[in-house]
Homo-oligomer: A and B are copies of this chain.
Amino acid sequence: MFGADKYPSTALRDAVEAFSSLPGVGSRSALRLALHLLRQPSERIHHFADSLNHLADDVHYCRHCMMVCDGDECDICADRSRDHSTICVVESVRDVMSIEGTAQYFGVYHVLGGVISPLEGIGPSDIAIRELVDRLSRGGVSEVILALRGDVEGDTTSLYIHRQIEKFGVTVTTLARGLGFGDALEYADPLTLGRSITGRQPLKI
């Protein structure tokens, strides 16, 4: 009676379809999630729905760095104690949260919202490179850290940005690549090990 896309209730079907649209959630998991919600008091389900409406309507983006925030400026850009002459360029909001989690960085950020990927149809004008160039043209920046992923798309984006901003004469750096903390040499993949050799550092004692 119920086939692959037939559900005993239209409301259940709609909820399963909504969950299925999320990345990494198949129709079986979506059904499990919808049935889990269905076992909760209806106020909890409404609360879930409210939080999504809130997400759609009340998330803003910082006018300086494109980070998600509550107003028109994020807490980091608004913080005068941070070093506004150093900009760390990242792909996503999650990267900002990861770097903040290290408590090792005290500059500000620039969230691109993606990396250049011709295969996925994402060109330089689809991500916030123009906004970065505008920020640099206003002066006051001494270093740009390109903290993008270590794959072809990330490297392409880094190179492209470097060409766009070299005219400003700021120092352009990138994240160190190499062995992770505690990694054994024998288990490292050859590319990572190779990068850690070519990028070797003076021993600090």
Chain B residues positioned under 8 Å from A36 (CB to CB): 22-23
With A15-B54, A49-B53, A76-B1 given, is the CB distance from A67 to B8 under 8 Å? yes
Cβ contacts A36-66/B at 8 Å (1 or 0 each): 1110001011111111111111111000000
Q: Does A92 contact B (CB under 8 A)?
A: yes
Contact assessment for B8 and A97 in the assembled complex, using a CB-CB cutoff below 8 Å: yes
Contact assessment for A8 and B50 in the assembled complex, using a CB-CB cutoff below 8 Å: no
Contact assessment for B49 and A15 in the assembled complex, using a CB-CB cutoff below 8 Å: no
CB-nearest residue of chain B relative to A103?
A: B1
Q: Does A144 contact B (CB under 8 A)?
A: no
Chain B residues positioned under 8 Å from A3 (CB to CB): 101
Chain B residues positioned under 8 Å from A100 (CB to CB): 1-2
Q: Report the separation of the CA atoms of residues A140 and B8 in the bound assembly, to the nearest whole angstrom.
A: 25
Q: In the complex, identify which listed stretch (A27-35, A115-123, A153-161) lies at the interface while the others stay far away.
A: A27-35
With A37-B55, A55-B14 given, is the CB distance from A8 to B93 under 8 Å? yes
Contact assessment for B18 and A23 in the assembled complex, using a CB-CB cutoff below 8 Å: no
Q: Does A184 contact B (CB under 8 A)?
A: no
Q: Report the separation of the CA atoms of residues A56 and B76 in the bound assembly, to the nearest whole angstrom.
A: 39
